Amino acid sequence: MSRPMCHISKKQRQGLMALSVVALIFAILAWYYVTQHGRMAVQHVGPIKFYPETHELYIVNKTHDVVFKAWLGNPLPHPIYPLDCTRQFQTSNSLCINWVDMETPSKVDKEYARMEVTVKPPEANLHCITVEWTSFMLDFAPMDCISLTDAHWFGGASLYRQLWPLDDTSIPMQPYLMKDILVESDRHDVWGSVLENYWLSSKGVAVLVDEDVPLHVSFNQDFSQTLCLKSEYLDSPYQNQQVKYPHLKYTVCYSEDIKSVHQQVYNRWFPKPQGIPDERMIKSPIWSTWARYKTFVNETQVLDFADEILQHNLSNSQIEIDDKYTTSYGAYDFNQTKFPDAAGMIRKLKKKGFRVTSWFHPFTNLESPNFREGINHGYWVRDVSNSVPALVKWWQGEGALLDVTDNRSRQWYLNNLQSMRSDYGLDSFKFDAGEADFFPVHYNVTSQEFWNPNEYCTQYAQLVSELGGMIEVRCGHQTQNLPIFVRMFDKESSWSHDNGLRTMIPSALTQGILGYPFILPDMIGGNAYGGDGVFDSTNLKDLPERELFIRWMELTAYLPAMQFSIAPWQYSDADADDGVSIVDLSREMIRIHEEEVTPLIVRYAQEALSEGYPIIRPLWWLDPKHEDALTCDSEFLIGDAVLVAPILEPHSRSRDIFLPKGRWRDTLRRDRIIEGPRWLRDYPIQLDEIATFYNVEDK
């Protein structure tokens, strides 16, 4: 006989039905919460709109134009959903979202990251927001991508293929660290020696990333039309001894136009120069041994070089003795085989009216006697064991790198240079390197606060600046305050955008916008490395093209300094059919630079000190909303006073010239006055000429 079924009372059935209904409602609510929360409505805070479902952020100005668009939190995995945390943290004028995994069974509301977007109170006509990601996982690298479309972008870093604006630039995602663009095999795709966490848009937008972010950046990677900012410690050169979670924080500011936002942002966030470099270096040419003699330089050549300069009646600020004059790399002396009487040579040069500088760097090679001394006293950057030097490879061998974070190392380095200066009679030094790619991947330094390899350049430049205003360096990062020249990276002897003549103006404009007004242009004609442009410290056979040398010289005459190495008299006028005497033209270009340009450079250097403005300015400085002014990469301004339009193409005797708004005096055409904005088509410019226009309204 079968057992009877369990009896369920009516009351129990009603209870079960009620529980079922509650469970169903709970399930529906849970489903809605989990699946629809990520589709919550657009979030509005002041000028910003954020769409949680697509991660799109917009900034809309007072005329309702979208001036900024970005995609926030691009690498967030599925299933991650946004939870509003604005009320939880009682933030005003901000949007707060926790990104949470609410579906994975093993994770109970696992927080991945928190995103906060805060609207700052406006100052004058500058409006700013901050975007901040706080990660709760070591392997989560927050990344935001900014749209580059419908605008022109400027800033960032110096590049091998320097463009102005950056529209056609494409740099893949990588640590945002400065590199030696000449020795890098992938030099087209790396960041260069002058670098700041700062970009500008023609829509009047500026982007600044905080210095404490382990920053990785791509620009228009695979022509995606995005500037992507990523924060990541894992598998990167950024040290993370305290095992911090990666964080990303940046500020977006906007104003009425690109000039307005740049002026206000620079004044608030960047240091201004504390003085003006040596004015004789501004006025008269530097004569370097490098491009002409490379590493074969010796005492006889230096003395002959000086005599030739004087014989051709050309002025000078100094003669610079470049690479391979010491007994070894890291020795503070002159090689007596190549320089039998270096002190006597320098005395002779000074009697002839030359100051004398020499080339130096932060490396000490293994064969140098100072290598052992540095080990004994702990002067070098060390490996992970913290007991032996971390050997580094550079373009002249292998050796140790000075620990610029250690006060004893710094003083030892300065003492040696000062002794060398007094022993031989040197006036100053040209300093090379400092980029992050010469820093070992795994290292120990004295300062526990050192974690970003870009900081090496900062401290190195600060260290050598103690030697005075005749100093020149080639790297810049957060060193805008130093009253020294920042040299353009070695240029190649070509007309092209691949580190040739066409990059001279974009390089000067980029350095100026990044806050380095005291630009030392590279040597006139480039470095004569050879046809392939590959760095070669022994190539002596290739002179730059004659016409290239002439056009390069004409352009350089209107920049803050002039620098020769390949000499004008190395070219034969008799073999040319252009009717130009290069030596006579050199003399005239030097005269123009000394008598007409230098007073302007010194005048606008005062503005650099007081306001932080660049000396060499883009055309949009005077016409910030004109499309042609925004995109012009072949003209520049000296302050607000003079527009310079050189010939940058081979065999050209004319060019199109854009004049921004204002009234301009045409110096090549009988001082006629031209009203801008206006294009001058096929404007004739002979080989021995350069077009300049003086701003009639400049006071």
For residue range 466-504, what is the model confidence (pLDDT) as tens digits?
Answer: 999 999 999 999 999 999 999 999 999 999 999 999 999
Summary mean pLDDT of the chain:
92
Confidence check: pLDDT of 268 > 60 = yes
Query: Which of 40-44, 392-396, 495-499, 526-530 is the least confident region?
Result: 40-44
Q: Which residues pair with 399 in a beta bridge?
A: 365, 392
- Asked whether the beta carbons of 318 and 485 are under 8 A apart, the reply is no
Is residue 423 annotated as a catalytic residue, yes or no? no
Please, which pLDDT band fits residue 41 given cuts at 50, 70 and 90? low
C-alpha atoms less than 13 angstroms from C-alpha of 414 in its C-beta half-sphere: 17
Q: DSSP per residue over 113-128, as a string?
A: EEEEEEEPPPBTTBEE
Q: Per-residue confidence at 31, pLDDT binned at 50, 70, 90? A: very low
Q: Note the pLDDT of residue 1.
A: 44
Name the active-site residue from 167, 257, 367, 498.
Answer: 498
pLDDT digits (tens, 9 = 90+) for 601-644: 999 999 999 999 999 999 999 999 999 999 999 999 999 999 99
Query: What pLDDT does residue 559 have?
Result: 99
Q: Is the pLDDT of residue 353 over 90?
A: yes
pLDDT of residue 610: 96
Separation of first and last alpha carbons in the chain? 116
Q: Is residue 103 annotated as a catalytic residue, yes or no? A: no
Neighbour tally for 310: CB within 10 Å: 13
Q: What band does 2 get if pLDDT is binned at 50, 70 and 90? A: very low
- % of the chain residues with pLDDT over 70: 91
pLDDT for residue 104? 64
Domains of the chain, first to last? 39-269 (2.60.40), 279-359+407-435+454-613 (3.20.20.80), 620-695 (2.60.40.1180)
Q: What confidence category does residue 7 fall into, taking pLDDT thresholds of 50, 70 and 90?
A: low
Q: How many CB atoms lie within 10 A of CB 350?
A: 13
Residue 279 carries which side chain, given as an amino acid letter? E
Distance of alpha carbon 477 from alpha carbon 211, whole angstroms: 10
* Between residues 46 and 130, the one the model is more confident about: 130
pLDDT at 25 over 60: no
Residue 102 has pLDDT above 80, yes or no: no
Instruction: Tell me the sheet residues that pair with 45.
Output: 48
Which pLDDT score is estimated for 387? 86
The answer, yes or no, to whether residue 538 has pLDDT greater than 60, is no
Does a cis peptide bond (omega within 30 degrees of 0) precede residue 285? no
Residue 3: pLDDT above 50? no
Tell me the pLDDT tens digit for each residue of 305-328.
999 999 999 999 999 999 999 999
Tokens 């600044």 belong to 208
Q: What is the value of pTM for the model shown? A: 0.92
Query: 306: phi > 0 → left, psi -120 to 50 → alpha, else beta; which?
Result: alpha
Q: Are 534 and 527 in contact (CB under 8 A)?
A: no
Six token digits for residue 526: 């480039």
Residue environment code for 408-425, b if the CB has 16+ CB neighbours within 10 A, otherwise e: ebbebbeebbeebbeebb
Catalytic residue among 116, 432, 492, 640: 432
Separation of alpha carbons 591 and 283, rounded Å? 10
CA angle 522, 558, 480 (to 5 degrees): 60
Q: In a 10 Å sphere around its CB, with 0-12 CB exposed, 13-18 middle and 19+ buried, how is residue 457 labelled?
A: buried
CB contact at 8 A, 621 and 260 = no
pLDDT for 494-526, tens place per residue? 999 999 999 999 999 999 999 999 999 999 999
CA dist 16 → 8, 30, 184 (Å):
10, 20, 73
512 burial level (CB within 10 Å; 0-12, 13-18, 19+): buried
Q: Which of 32-41, 100-109, 534-543 is least confident?
A: 32-41
Q: Does position 34 have pLDDT exceeding 60, yes or no?
A: no
Reported confidence tier of residue 23, pLDDT bands at 50, 70, 90: low
216-246 in b/e form (b: 16+ CB < 10 A) is bbbbbbeeeebbbbbbbbeebbbbeeeeebb
Q: How large a percentage of the chain has pLDDT more than 90? A: 79
Name the band, by pLDDT with cuts 50, 70 and 90, for residue 110: confident
Alpha-helical (H) ranges within 131-285 are: 258-269, 279-283
Distances in whole angstroms, Cα of residue 623 to Cα of each of 10, 390, 557, 631? 85, 51, 25, 11
Give the pLDDT confidence score for residue 4 in this predicted structure.
44
Residue for token digits 């971390």? 390
Band of pLDDT at residue 37, cut at 50, 70 and 90? very low
Which is it for strands 691-695 and 654-666: parallel, antiparallel or unpaired?
Answer: antiparallel
Indicate the residue type of 614: P
User: H or E segment at 106?
Assistant: none
Active site residue 698: no
Residue 611 · residue 272 · CB < 8 Å: yes
Chain centroid offset of residue 100 CA: 37
Q: What does each C-alpha distance from 102 to 82, 278, 349 come to in angstroms?
A: 10, 63, 77
Residue 679: band (very low, low, confident or very high) from pLDDT cuts 50, 70, 90: very high
